[in-house]
Chain A
Amino acid sequence: MPLDYKRFNGPEDSVSYKRFTADYLKSYDELHSELIDETGHRKDGRAMDEARPMYVRGNFVSQAKGSSYIEMRGTKVVCSVFDPREIVHQNEFSTVGLLFCEVKFAPFACKRQRQSHVPDSEEKALSVALRKAVGPTVCCQLFANFQIDIFVYIIESDGSCLAAAITAAGLALANAAVPMFDVVTASSVAIIGDKIFIDPTEDEEHLAMISPDTNTNHGVITMARLNGLMQIADFRQIGSLDIECILKVTDILEQECQKVFPKIQKTLVGYVKNGIMEQKRLSEEGKAREAKLKDKMLEWRSSIVNNSV
């Protein structure tokens, strides 16, 4: 890997000190039994089928054409979308526009290790997935030979990063007034054995990726959905799952995506409303100013007339 000598690159083989804490040395079974308490609730007090509360806002980055911020407890994601620009270094004319997506982790985003500033394979894979998920919804034929840049920055990661990134990108695109067919939302689940964790945290995701010694199901699935068109824009699975489980999870994910949808709609409608109010206010203010000016003019004129007399 090429090193960037302009930055301080710590010793390559450094490891997180957390590796030596008692928490880290727990066996698979210990970790597994810790995930759920006796009442059937997860570590953070949620029920199995309960997603984390989600905070959504747009207009987060004032310099960007459109932007958004999503927070789901420990997962915090910023997305910004910039004006379409002509594709550089391209020989052939393309009749459809391109989307350029980049997902980046903050160096301190992850619990387990420090993220290097050089894009690693996970970030590249996330970028590809993001592009696949938002691709079907953007009216690309309107941007012949142009590209739209979408940047996602994961400030803090506590599971379901891709789902948050896709939802954020969908909102930022709409916020940037890019023509779209539909609103895209995403959701993810982790599966360990017969248990399905909706909107998993980092710990749950991590454990779902480790394969147990037995032949049980384990894995993570993320789905992006176009809610109005009832189409699936992206579907990504990893792990080892049997077919019944996948089909069951597909239904659950569809419902979860649907649940996020009104939130995004509401936020967007809110911005449009605010925009209209603002316009109204501005035009009223303008009118008031004009009226004042007119009065002043009349006053001035009459004073000239008076003086001359």
Chain B
Amino acid sequence: MAGILLSHTEKVYITHGVKNEYRSDGRSNIDYRPMELETDVVSHASGSARLRLANTDILVGVKTEIDVPKPDKPGLGKIEFFVDCSANATPEFEGRGGEQLANSISNIMLRAYQSAQAFNLKQLCIFEGKQCWKLYIDILILECGGNLCDAVSLAVKAALFNTRIPFVKAALMDGGNVDLQLSDDPFDSKWLDVGSAPLLVTLCRIGEKCVVDPTAEEESCSLVSLIVGVTGNPKYYNDYEDEEELPAFEAKCSVISMHGPGSVSPQNLRDAINQGIIAAVCLDEALGKTLFRERRDTEQFKRHSYGFLK
């Protein structure tokens, strides 16, 4: 994405602000702007979520289909990410303009979800070596106001949290072919276990420091950014009876990648990874609490669905 034009003195002002840990809207270097979330917004998807972060608007739908597992991974399901940069977001995405951005986002999401410690594909297995669930995660960028990766990862995790997979009632072997019987009842299904799904944090290096959740102005002051994917804490996404009994949780990096034409010093890199993990843990907790609140409201029939109105 081409950055917006800024004068030299504006850049100086932003850079000094980052140095003092006081950005032009009063946030410190690890603060996010307020976000808004709603799940279950698309009726024909198994799970969906819409997330707004300032001017960035992401819609994610999850479709589940049945597939044959890969021969070298018979016990695992499949997951695939597709990103669509709609020209609604900015005219730059018109035609094939958004393709590069879309590829880089889907690529980093795929890499972040690759480890079993981030997302366990075993839960998508139906019949080892024969049948498995395949999750198609379609990410639609409705509006683009900077910090896409973070917003996409939050929306994907919310959509997966909202995804139901039907129970398989019976599987019959019929001369080597598998015959599945699924229930007709839409509520006869299980939620996915997404507690450990990773969240991405983009850290923009401005001057000698890094900021999270950069505005478009801040993005254009930065030559290089680091994306850190950090696994989530299942505690926030499950209703455990006794929290003390849980194994000690440690956030782990599931992906790190650099973008932009610049380079960083080794000390910068270490600080940025640390900062990214701190930010991701905070994000994870906030997301888990919000999703749980919504699920509780839904169970008590108190929830009002807003969708795209208002």
Contacts and interface: CB of A to CB of B under 8 A. Distances in A.
Contacts of A246: 253, 256, 273
Given A237-B256, A240-B254, A246-B256, A219 B261 contact: no
B contact patch SS: mixed
A240 B231 contact: yes
A242 B103 contact: no
A218 B117 CA distance: 10
Nearest to A247: B270
Interface string B249-264: 0111111111111111
Interface residues of B, number: 38
A235 B225 CA distance: 11
Where chain A touches its partner, the secondary structure class is mixed
Given A125-B107, A232-B264, A238-B111, A243 B274 contact: yes
A95 interface: no
Q: Give the bracket for the number of chain A residues in contact with chain B.
A: 35 or more
A240 B252 contact: yes
A132 B250 contact: no
A240 B264 contact: no
A239 B273 contact: no
Nearest to A237: B256
B185 interface: no
Nearest to A125: B107
Interface in A273-305: none
B71 A19 contact: yes
B118 interface: yes
B68 to A, nearest CB: 10
13 contacts: A128-B107, A135-B261, A136-B224, A218-B115, A232-B263, A232-B265, A233-B263, A235-B226, A236-B257, A239-B114, A240-B115, A243-B274, A247-B273
Contacts of B264: 231-232
A156 interface: no
A231 B259 CA distance: 15
Tell me which of A213, A231, A254 has the highest count of chain B C-beta atoms within 10 A of its own C-beta. A231
A241 B253 contact: yes
Contacts of A239: 114-115, 254
A256 interface: no
A235 B253 contact: no
A242 B250 contact: yes
B276 to A, nearest CB: 10
A231 B71 CA distance: 42
Nearest to A213: B116
A121 B110 CA distance: 11
Given A235-B257, A243-B274, 11 more contacts: A136-B263, A218-B115, A232-B269, A235-B256, A236-B257, A236-B258, A238-B111, A240-B115, A240-B118, A250-B270, A254-B266
